[in-house]
Structure 1
């Protein structure tokens, strides 16, 4: 689903010429330089084939309620757009419906803000039924404040919305009711998906395999690492949001018969609240994991800021460091770093027990990462003695796969074991 109707009424499409504007708000500099913000916003646009023909930043001391930017700035933007024959204006900020409408009128361009741009990417990339539902829900939530007549095309997408009201009902009221009803229907469908996913997750926890979740900023190299560790072929390109739908594959970890590696959607700064809420069900996979690998693009100039953004989103999902599974930071893309900086990064990683430096592209450091994952999965283990019936093959196999067998003796048809397991796995074993 697109933020814009891509018909003959002025919608956007691949190859659209666009002017990119990045407002530089006083007191909102954060950890990123304005140049880095411009590059990331341009990358978001190019991810869906938009041709960014000009880029500008504007200092905003006091945001205007009607247009965000000052009158002179808006006039200059209109001139630049005309000079470059740009029909689309991308504003790397969250615009109110009034601000969006004013900018469209003053610049004679179609206007899309950061939230709309990210929704546009997600709408194009979502591959599964669940992903499409999540994107549509986020899109409808965003569009609810930007009601236009073109939204009646939703009526034809999935069998219609029912009776639209009598002659006294205005079109905006009908559109609003269509959106509200559709959102309620999607939420019911996603709740069913969430319950099904929960059942699958419960079954996985009863299975004798630990689950490791990859998280990180978009384009940090998660999918490349996923492919390297699992010999899979998940889409891994130098694009923002190359992966949207969660993917799981078997991975070999020392000391375990097998483990499950989960690749998840990448995060981004100022991730729209509509998307955080919509993708909550998908990201529940992270909270249920035994270990989180936070993949960082250590070669990126804003690596620290990106890491902070990932932690902020995890905290918003109730996965702050104190409330989530243990995690290891994976400093990726060593292949892009030259000496002496490379030596400094390797030295810093060696001094920290929760960091492994790698290149997912070349394979450097992958063996060390596997060893670190194995050590973390075994860390904090408690040793207990238990007795099982020798014919209880599934539970015996579960203990061998999830724990460290210290002693094993047969006594008739009884098997006596001394097993070291993490507290989480002891709780899981009790539920088997």
Structure 2
């Protein structure tokens, strides 16, 4: 068990940067509360008056334009309040959605549309009742600032207050002594208590008023924004799932086609050759040996094709030695000269990221060799703020596309399935640039 001498306590000093931030926030909170009180009185008078007059005259034609003007002015005060709340809560409040009339709508249509908007009535409700939290916050802030400034400056103004001989100050009434020095010391101590609690009290009062306003002015908008973000996340997840299924189906179809066109045909021929050699052994051993030799050649070629196909499924070098070694080997096998630019430090990434990056480069180099007629190609891997950036450029004839039916469409599905994005720039006779952004 460690002794008391072995235990150390770390005290974080209040540095000048942190102190300046506290003072700046104190000023922001104070002006917010002090300005909020008169604004609360103004909005109370205007909103209550406009709503009462407009509702009273609603039986006539005049009442609806008055309600329209009242709702619009409440909306203006609400916009001002959202701007004022931001520095207090240290966040930007979303601007709510307001119903709007069509551009060619008539006068009465423009008048009635704002009256059917729920957020407009919440703005009017805030303009009517905001004076309650504003008054409470204003009372606390004024009291604490007055106590702080008045108490700490007692020594400067105490002498100027006339006191009759029989007038007793608070220290004497409390029975703790008498005299000017003791009186100044007593009131300075009270000011010090107010000063030490000024920051949390003012901060609490400002947050109380700001939260009350935020609930009515941005609560619905924030809820809608969260719902919209959840829906966007759901759509992204569905798009990634669909892309993964499409990429998997495309890869399986291509693998099936490659096996059917390559190894399967060779194996059929190998079986036929071996059957012919079996028949030739009895009456023509020389021909049988030639057939077996040809079958061995077919076997080696089939093994080479199977190895090439296995590299397309799960290249062992990628798993064992990483993306850098796999891309170097890929560039070495390319029919078009490849200039590789890889990160200086070799750091293993997530398996799905490395696999996707490898297949992006592999598919791109295959397309370059088959269709681009390029003389050289450049492959670049780089980290960015968005993730891993995989770029493949060539100086070929261009014309590549991500449209459905093109070979790159399946590659785009694979990239989207991993949460990334693939773009292709390929003007005619100006080369092709393929860029994949993969999240890491």
Q: What TM-score bracket applies, with the shorter chain setting the length?
A: under 0.3
Structure number with higher strand proportion: 1
Structure number with higher helix proportion: 2
Question: Scaled by the length of structure 2, what TM-score is found?
Answer: 0.19
Query: Larger Cα Rg: Structure 1 or Structure 2?
Result: 2
